[in-house]
Amino acid sequence: MPASQPRSRARDRNNVLNRAEFLSLNQPLKGNQENRSSSRKQSGQAGAAGAQNANLKERRQSQQLPEEDCMQLNPSFKGIAFNSLLAIDICMSKRLGVCANRASSWGGARSMINLLGITGHGIPWIAGTLICLVKSSTLAGQEVLMNLLLALLLDIMIVAGLQKLAKRKGPYDINPGLLDYLTMDTYAFPAGHASRVAMLSKFFLNHLVLAIPLRILLVLWALCVGFSRVMIGRHHITDVLSGFIFGYLQFRLVELIWMSSNTCQMLISIW
């Protein structure tokens, strides 16, 4: 046994693989192991941080998406009803636009329908009211005409403001005329002609003494002028109906702020 130990030591010394330059072939260095372990830890930490960020993004999206999905895939009953009525309104308005252009079924009557619409325009009514006011010599007539002029001006301003807010276009791509631009009647909702004729007919029925046939003709004139705007493709049906409602409300407003005879005389004298 004592002789074998020196022999084994001599073998280890004579073994080339036990030299320092060949130790890396037999066992890895400690520094390399530490570098590899640290790089693995850093990559693991970066992967964990990326996974956490991804999870946070998914949670935020999961919190936002259900509300958007509910609005798109599960609309409310009011939204469904409103969209259905809007689709019916557009479809019926296009079918009733029989004079929208020359190629329409009633294209030959377009000029006559336009002439009927001019009878409900604001510019001719304002000009006629001013002419009658200049020629009027009675206090009662001047009072009625001054309040009629006030009603016409209010109608133009209110309808123009509502149209600017709504900015709804008509069922057909029809450019407004020159008179429409003068009264700022460039959009569809509400129909300016319909509100004006409704206000005028109610005004005349209340402040003028008319026979029953004339009263009936006055109401028929207002209805024809209103729905003529649908026939030429300028407005929807709901635009005309809302115009009738706004016209009645404007008449009620003028009745509330009715100018007395003294106020009218003062304004006339200033003018």
Residue-wise pLDDT for 177-193, tens only, equals 777 788 788 888 899 99
pLDDT in tens, 89-141: 888 888 888 887 777 788 788 888 888 888 998 889 999 999 999 888 888 88
In a domain, 89, yes or no: no
Residue 71 banded pLDDT, cuts 50, 70, 90: very low
Does 166 map to a domain?
A: yes
Q: Would residue 134 count as lying in a domain?
A: yes
User: CB burial class (10 A; 0-12, 13-18, 19+) of residue 126?
Assistant: middle
The pLDDT value recorded for residue 54 is 59
Residue 31 counted as domain residue? no
Comparing 196 with 114, which gets the higher pLDDT? 196
Full domain range(s) for residue 238: 109-270
Contact 146, 264 (CB under 8 A): yes
Share of the chain above pLDDT 70, in %: 72
Q: What per-residue confidence (pLDDT) applies to 246?
A: 95
Q: What is the DSSP string of the chain?
A: -TTHHHHHHHHHHH-GGGSGGGHHHHS--HHHHHHHHHHHHHHHHHHHHHHHHHHHHHHHHHHHHHHHHHHHHS--HHHHHHHHHHHHHHHHHHHH-TTSSTTSTTGGGHHHHHHHHHTT-HHHHHHHHHHHHHH--SHHHHHHHHHHHHHHHHHHHHHHHHHHHH-PPPSS-----HHHHHTT--SSSS-HHHHHHHHHHHHHHHHS---HHHHHHHHHHHHHHHHHHHHTTSS-HHHHHHHHHHHHHHHHHHHHTPPPHHHHHHHHHH-
Task: Note whether residue 224 is domain-resident.
Answer: yes
Q: pLDDT value at position 110?
A: 84
How high is the pLDDT of residue 15? 55
Question: Considering Cα of 224, then 229, then 231, then 236, what sign does the dihedral take?
Answer: negative
How buried is residue 122: exposed, middle or buried, by Cβ count under 10 Å (0-12/13-18/19+)? buried
Residue 259 lies in a domain: yes
Mean pLDDT of 243-263: 93
- Higher per-residue confidence, 86 vs 152: 152
The arithmetic mean of pLDDT across residues 10-37, rounded, is: 51
Amino acid letter, 27: Q
Who has greater pLDDT, 4 or 141? Answer: 141
Query: Comparing 167 with 271, which gets the higher pLDDT?
Result: 167
pLDDT, position 65? 42
- Residue 165 identity: L
Whether residue 251 has pLDDT greater than 50: yes
Contact in structure between 154 and 196 (CB atoms under 8 Å): no
pLDDT at 25: 47
Rg (CA), the chain: 43
Residue at 208 is within a domain: yes
What pLDDT is attached to residue 103?
Answer: 78
| Residue 244 confidence (pLDDT) | 95
pLDDT of the residue at 52: 61
Which residues are part of the catalytic machinery? 193, 235
pTM recorded for the entire structure? 0.69
User: Does 231 score more than 80 pLDDT?
Assistant: yes
Instruction: Assess if residue 84 is contained within a domain.
Output: no
Number of structural domains (the chain) is: 1
Q: Comparing C-alpha atoms, which of 183, 184, 149, 180 is closest to residue 165?
A: 184
Res 4: pLDDT: 54
